[in-house]
Structure 1
Amino acid sequence: MLLLAMIQIMVQPGQALTCGQVDASLAPCVPYLTQGGNPAPTCCDGVKNIKDMAANTADRRAACNCVKNAANRYSNLKDDAAQALPTKCGVQMSIPISRTTNCDIIN
């Protein structure tokens, strides 16, 4: 029974992407986003993870809003570093890292 419960918790179809997941994925990026330079490999792994988790429009919009909220928590976030993050990590994704993105237009 315990095993079945654990499997159901891990595999819940339709489960929406959460800001906790996005925040955890981007946490290693904070030094790069606030100081510049180059993102750490763990940061790029997090960016790839967000892209993989955001498999549909609803998840991409949710991730966008989470990213936007996270960006607004850091007054010293460098906008140019944030915008360049996916490119620096070699990830093509439609979720911009910005304080001002209109997430409702994300497809």
Structure 2
Amino acid sequence: MLTRIVKLTFQEEKVEDFLAYFNTINTRVSTFENCYGMRLMQDIHHPTIIFTYSNWKDENALNHYRDSDLFGSVWSTIKPWFGGKPEAWSVNTYFEDGSFTPNHPAN
């Protein structure tokens, strides 16, 4: 399983717009084929910084979403609201809930 972490920095006056918009699309994203769930998190000291944290079957599944009409629509809607360049990481999980993850390449 692959975890995708995306850091989005919004213009201060657009944060509420993003949160309202996210409420309209979150289920469609989190139930996209081979997506195993998604979280939205907001920095407590810098509320213009928002993270998405999503789990995918593999990199091909993530890329399938990134090439989809859904992603294109979401991205084109929120991109004008950015106050900084988005950052993204695709990571493997080494440790979770007190145990090693069986899908880790080293296991």
Could you say whether these structures have the same fold, taking a TM-score greater than 0.5 normalized by the shorter chain as the test? no
The structure with the greater share of residues assigned to helix is 1
TM-score (norm 2): 0.31
The structure with the greater share of residues assigned to strand is 2
